[in-house]
Amino acid sequence: MPPDHRASAGPASAPGRWRFWATAYALLVLLAGTNLPTPLYRGYAREFGFSPLVTTLIFAAYVAVLIPSLLVAGPLSDAAGRRRVLLPAVAVAALGALVFALASGTAWLFAARVLQGLALGAASGPLTAALAELEPGGDRRRAALVSTVASVGGLGLGPVLAGALAEYAPAPRVLPFVVEIALLVPAAAAIAALPPAPPGGRWRPRRPGVPAPVRAVFATSGTASFLAFAVIGLFLTLVPAYVSTLSGSGNLLLGGAAVALMLLCSALAQLAGYGREARALELAGLSLLAAGLALLALAGGIGSLPLLLAAAVIGGIGQGLAFLGGLTAVSRAAPAGRHAEVLSGFYVVIYLGVGLPVVGVGLLALSAGLLTAVQWFAAVTAALCAVVLIVFARGGRGAVPVSEDRPRKAAAPRP
């Protein structure tokens, strides 16, 4: 029988609450660290002499290693325990930050992003599953909210922190990563305090899969979240340069702040959407995401920075609602013994959304220019959001198993 990592039922203890929020901190810090380079790519490109395409390829290398890492680490943590997977992941994340701090050429950037991809891939599914297991009341809906807010908060914190330090502090391409290493120390302490794995868990390599009862929910929610994270990928890689082109300013904090604005709106939308039905969140999110993308395309056409910021706000709200709805539906549908495996598969889908479309934008930017490439991306992705909305409307509400639709008391750990 698969090991059960869920916390014991009954009133939440202070150590139980501490572990839950400390785990959320670890997720936030890891994601912040992987997005520190966002406002720094323009400076790297000038110093090392590479094009927007190379920027997207550096990002794609991160996703390329992140996905296999997700697929291995999720099932492994279900069998061997969260700590045994997460502590090495934190160590690899610190090594990636160190390589960035020492970077003296483009190859260093690729190496650092590969290390960051390995770390986040190993940590994403297990940390998200740990939050669901450690939630003091056994409420997976609340755990999904904390997970998505911590994820998006980390995505937004990284660019703002790096942009501010790079613009106003010494050693602009070293200090952000030194700060990240320092923040990882309490994250490692939080992970070390997680409950040990119950005895008897065994991991066997197997082909990645999604249990049959989860597949319908996984397919619809995965599609919506793929599109939502394609927009995140664009903002994290090319929008800082897009902002610089529209504003005529080279201020690094401005580019990072535009990304953070989108992600802040995403996090606030998730807080506002907490408790609502998952499919309703996805439908509202896709509608707003399409509207934000239309504004993003228009902003490039008329050269309007205020319109771009409005697009970031509306698109961010849409992204947050779509992601919260998708993660809630998949988390509640996932069987307990394969929880991290299913969530890791879900993260594979969203990271494909982060990494693949933006490479196409980088290729198009070589021939058509950055503004045109971003406009085309926005128009095509908005159209795809509309198509998915139509599919959702025709397919009905889509079901999460009824037994998972309410907060559950978690089972007591095995002796």
Note whether residue 362 is domain-resident.
yes
- Is residue 4 a contact partner of residue 413, using CB atoms and an 8 Å limit? yes
Over 60: is that where the pLDDT of 258 sits?
yes
14-27: average pLDDT:
85
Confidence tier at 338 by pLDDT (50, 70, 90) = confident
Map tokens 């740990």 to a residue.
130
The DSSP string of 227-266 is HHHHHHHHHHHTHHHHHHHHH----HHHHHHHHHHHHHHH
As for how many domains the chain has, the answer is: 1
Note whether residue 207 is domain-resident.
no
User: In this structure, what CATH number is given to the domain that contains residue 126?
Assistant: 1.20.1250.20
Residues near 197 by Cβ (< 8 Å), separated by ≥ 6? Answer: 3, 5, 79, 80, 81, 82, 83, 84
Note whether residue 406 is domain-resident.
no
Of 86-100, 157-171, 229-243, the range with the lowest mean pLDDT is 229-243
Note whether residue 323 is domain-resident.
yes
Query: Which of 106-110, 232-236, 300-304, 336-340 is the most confident on average?
Result: 106-110
Helix, strand and coil percent figures for the chain, each rounded to 5: 80, 0, 20
Note whether residue 62 is domain-resident.
yes
Query: Which of 252-261, 262-271, 401-410 is the most confident on average?
Result: 262-271
- Is residue 326 a contact partner of residue 225, using CB atoms and an 8 Å limit? yes
Note whether residue 203 is domain-resident.
no
61-71: average pLDDT:
86
Over 50: is that where the pLDDT of 163 sits?
yes
Residues of the chain above pLDDT 70, percent: 88
The whole-angstrom separation of Cα 29 and Cα 150 is: 9
Note whether residue 142 is domain-resident.
yes
Over 50: is that where the pLDDT of 228 sits?
yes
Model's pTM, two decimal places?
Answer: 0.74
Note whether residue 108 is domain-resident.
yes
Taking phi over 0 as left and psi of -120 to 50 as alpha, with beta for the rest, 398 belongs to left
pLDDT value of position 410: 32
Q: Print the domain residue range for 109.
A: 15-197+213-399
Q: What's the mean pLDDT when you consider all of the chain? A: 83
Confidence tier at 167 by pLDDT (50, 70, 90) = confident
- Kindly state the DSSP code that residue 202 receives in the 8-state scheme: -
CA distances from 349 to 127, 295, 307, 314, 323 (A): 17, 26, 30, 23, 12
Length of the chain: 415
